Amino acid sequence: MNGSARVIVGMSGGVDSSVAAWLLREQGIPLAGLFMQNWNEDGGGECRAEADRRDALRVCGQLGIPFLARNFAAEYWRGVFETFLAEYRAGRTPNPDVLCNREVKFKTFLDEARALGAEQVATGHYARIDRHEGRWRLLRGRDPGKDQSYFLHQLGQAQLAATRFPVGELPKTEVRAIATRLGLATARKKDSTGICFIGERDFRDFLSRYIAITPGEIVDPAGVVLGRHPGIAFFTLGQREGLGLGGMRGRPQAPWFVVGKDPEGNRLIVDQGDSPLLASTRLRTEAMHWVAGEAPPLPLRCEAQVRYRQAAQACTVQARDDGGVDVRFDQPQRAVTPGQSLVLYRGEECLGGAVIAATDAPLDPLRHTCP
């Protein structure tokens, strides 16, 4: 590259990164596009990596910017996939997108961009960055339906200083309209969903290749056996699909939901309807990551999300001696899931987040650790 590109755009082969690159080019910024291959094809399913690479190459050609490709599969395996498997083995439900952003897109990719002589990276994430009172802030994207700050909460000051989110100021509809007007190859391409390394294959078949899966009993809260499950790793709190418990004699017609997991007994616990067993008002986390580099004064009144696209929930945050936090919500929350991420907000600013370790839900085996 000879240091000619000031910004390298992570080209995913989707419409968002395509428009992000165009917006920066329109500002006259010297650019290059880089496609990251984060998973080596294993013959078990289509991950669309090659099709995405071709689309990224076509868009770079249309925009007249250099195209690069790098294979980060080894880094992805170590930084993301091994943790993904360990969490499922422990009976928890991980969020690989958060780890991918922290370990690959804003670590490995950023390091590679700097090695190529670039000053910054850019991606098609729907989020914003500004500088306030001497610190960089991570802000929600302008489009509330597409805001991705939840997945970016592990970024810190160094990453934000070296990152741009060009589409964060735009609604998705305008991004599509720009791509269509320009005739970009990705203008009508559907948004990717799910986890890339699984692709369109069956999740159960995929996971069974990497961790030991043992079928077991499905029981109600009283311990009455209702059926069999193919493996508790395939289920998460609040899940309705895949239980196969419809139309049971002597039971109401209300749907069944997963309300607890008993890893030691290999039992899946289910209940019907809006079960109080899924409700919690308190949780504790593992060690917090604060975007500002240090914690704000605690205790803190703010808002939180325990899953992507959840409406912000008012809460009080208390510090823990182990670096985590205790959170008490003003209103009960449904199906708060250990292994997922708690992300804290103050208005549009993302303060940081951490992995949920335990809740005070009645069937959480670690509920006694939530004061």
Nearest CA to 187 out of 173, 205, 171, 199 is that of: 173
Burial readout 345-357 (b: 16 or more C-beta within 10 A, e: otherwise): beebbbbbbbbbb
Residues 200 and 193: their CA atoms lie apart, in Å, by 10
Query: Looking at residue 83, what is its pLDDT?
Result: 93
Query: Looking at residue 46, what is its pLDDT?
Result: 52
Query: Looking at residue 306, what is its pLDDT?
Result: 97
196 annotated active-site: yes
Distances in Å between the Cα of 253 and the Cα atoms of 196, 231, 258, 278 are: 37, 25, 16, 19
Segment 45-68, tens digit of pLDDT: 555 788 899 999 999 999 999 999
Segment 334-357, tens digit of pLDDT: 999 999 999 999 999 999 999 999
Distances in Å between the Cα of 47 and the Cα atoms of 23, 52, 283 are: 28, 9, 35
Does residue 112 carry a pLDDT above 70?
yes
Question: Do 339 and 292 belong together in one domain?
Answer: yes
**For the domain that residue 32 is a member of, what is the CATH number?**
3.40.50.620
Question: Do 34 and 136 belong together in one domain?
Answer: yes
Active-site choice (100, 302, 315, 370) = 100
- Whether residue 33 contacts residue 55, with contact meaning beta carbons closer than 8 Å, is answered with no
Does residue 3 carry a pLDDT above 80?
no
Question: Do 43 and 170 belong together in one domain?
Answer: yes
**For the domain that residue 337 is a member of, what is the CATH number?**
2.40.30.10
Active-site choice (196, 302, 315, 370) = 196
Segment 129-138, tens digit of pLDDT: 999 999 999 9
What value, to the nearest 5°, has the Cα angle with vertex 326 and ends 138 and 133? 30
**For the domain that residue 249 is a member of, what is the CATH number?**
2.30.30.280
What backbone torsions phi and psi does residue 12 show, to the nearest 5 degrees?
-85, -10
Please state whether beta strands 127-132 and 135-140 pair in parallel, antiparallel, or not at all (unpaired): antiparallel
Query: Looking at residue 193, what is its pLDDT?
Result: 65
Residues 199 and 50: their CA atoms lie apart, in Å, by 13
Residues 331 and 323: their CA atoms lie apart, in Å, by 25
- Count the Cβ atoms, other than its own, within 10 Å of residue 268: 25
Q: Is the peptide bond before 362 cis (omega within 30 degrees of 0)?
A: no
Question: Do 17 and 163 belong together in one domain?
Answer: yes
Domain count, the chain: 3
Residues 312 and 348: their CA atoms lie apart, in Å, by 10
Residues 95 and 341: their CA atoms lie apart, in Å, by 7
Question: Do 72 and 113 belong together in one domain?
Answer: yes
Sheet holding 67-71, edge to edge: 67-71, 31-37, 7-10, 120-122, 163-164
Question: Do 317 and 171 belong together in one domain?
Answer: no
Does residue 43 carry a pLDDT above 70?
no
Residues 144 and 44: their CA atoms lie apart, in Å, by 36
